[in-house]
């Protein structure tokens, strides 16, 4: 379920009877890309890797790159689950028994109401409660100027040295931070920052997007690290709030925030180091 929505995946962990294994499933759910991250991954793979080929081959290569990112997420899920089960969440593995109840004719009214109230409205309500104030913050950051620079630019310049260690830039890292309410707005924030617009930019033409990114210093290393960090960074605010609701503790929400982000930082630093070393050698 996490491939559709990480928040829904966290709720889906309710079926796990073991509290320990339920926590492991919740903490590692965001290691797989949700539906909000797939468009960004596909766009970057198409622009920077698929464009190196022509025709049908371009689509195949782009698909394989996105598949590789998904497989990396699954590998990290298994790895972190193993580490958690050996450290802070030690315990004996339990067996999974699913009892099938007697078949009964579905009652459409109850199914519809439970689906709408217990799941859809629950998730959307939490998303709106975070998206509204964050949207205001994004607007203020991009429209309030101190001297000749917006607050957004000051923040990006502050983060730039650390972002460079990850093979990124300050605007990219700022976009991920401001994109906490929803992963879908990370790319529009990046484009807004580069184009110095006061509102979010949503372009559907991948060629135009690619031109803007390349003109602002994106390289193959940038694209690779952006895809890695898109996969491995903190869950959206809705997922974090859902984790708090399901576990009853801020501690697990903080750990769910730190775990994938730390993995993303380490992998991006490693990728940047290997890339720069290779460039020096050749």
- Work out the pLDDT band at 28, boundaries 50, 70, 90: very high
For the chain, where are the E strands, in sequence order?
145-146, 149-150
Question: pTM for the complete prediction?
Answer: 0.84
- Out of 64-68, 81-85, 137-141, which region has the weakest mean confidence (pLDDT)? 137-141
Residues 209/203, Cβ–Cβ less than 8 Å: yes
- For residues 253 and 249, give the distance between their C-alpha atoms in angstroms, rounded to a whole number: 7
- For residues 275 and 47, give the distance between their C-alpha atoms in angstroms, rounded to a whole number: 20
Q: Which two tokens stand for residue 269?
A: 């630093």
- Out of 76-85, 122-131, 161-170, 223-232, which region has the weakest mean confidence (pLDDT)? 122-131
Dihedrals phi, psi of 40, to nearest 5 degrees: -65, -45
Please provide the average confidence, as pLDDT, over all residues in the chain: 86
For a pLDDT cut of 90, what percent of the chain falls above it?
47
> In 10 A of CB 151, how many CB atoms?
15
Q: Where are the domains of the chain?
A: 6-90+118-281
Give 167-170's long-range contacts (Cβ < 8 A, gap of 24+). 167/221, 167/222, 167/224, 167/225, 167/268, 167/271, 167/272, 167/275, 168/222, 168/225, 168/226, 168/229, 168/268, 169/216, 169/217, 169/222
Find the mean pLDDT for residues 145-153. Answer: 87
Q: Which two tokens stand for residue 275?
A: 């890339």
Residues 228/267, Cβ–Cβ less than 8 Å: yes
- For residues 211 and 209, give the distance between their C-alpha atoms in angstroms, rounded to a whole number: 5
């Amino acid at each position: 379920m996490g491939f559709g929505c990480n928040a829904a995946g966290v709720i889906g962990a309710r079926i796990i009877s073991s509290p320990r294994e339920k926590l492991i499933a919740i903490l590692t759910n965001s290691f797989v890309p949700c539906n909000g991250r797939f468009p960004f991954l596909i766009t970057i793979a198409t622009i920077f890797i698929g464009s190196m080929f022509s025709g049908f081959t371009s689509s195949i290569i782009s698909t394989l790159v996105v598949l590789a990112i998904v497989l990396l997420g699954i590998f990290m899920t298994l790895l972190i689950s193993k580490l958690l089960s050996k450290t802070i969440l030690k315990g004996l593995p339990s067996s999974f028994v699913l009892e099938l109840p007697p078949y009964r004719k579905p009652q459409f009214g109850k199914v519809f109401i439970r689906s709408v109230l217990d799941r859809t409205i629950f998730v959307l309500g939490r998303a709106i409660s975070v998206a509204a104030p964050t949207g205001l913050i994004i607007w203020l950051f991009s429209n309030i100027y101190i001297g000749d620079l917006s607050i957004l630019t000051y923040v990006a310049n502050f983060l730039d040295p650390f972002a460079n260690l990850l093979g990124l830039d300050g605007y990219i890292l700022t976009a991920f931070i401001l994109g906490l309410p929803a992963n879908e707005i990370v790319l529009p924030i990046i484009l807004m920052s580069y184009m110095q617009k006061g509102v979010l930019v949503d372009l559907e033409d991948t060629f135009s997007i690619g031109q803007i990114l390349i003109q602002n210093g994106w390289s193959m290393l940038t694209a690779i690290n952006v895809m890695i960090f898109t996969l491995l960074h903190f869950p959206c605010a809705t997922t974090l709030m859902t984790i708090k609701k399901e576990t009853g503790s801020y501690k697990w929400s903080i750990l769910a925030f730190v775990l994938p982000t730390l993995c993303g930082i380490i992998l991006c630093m490693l990728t940047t180091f290997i890339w720069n070393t290779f460039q020096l050698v050749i």
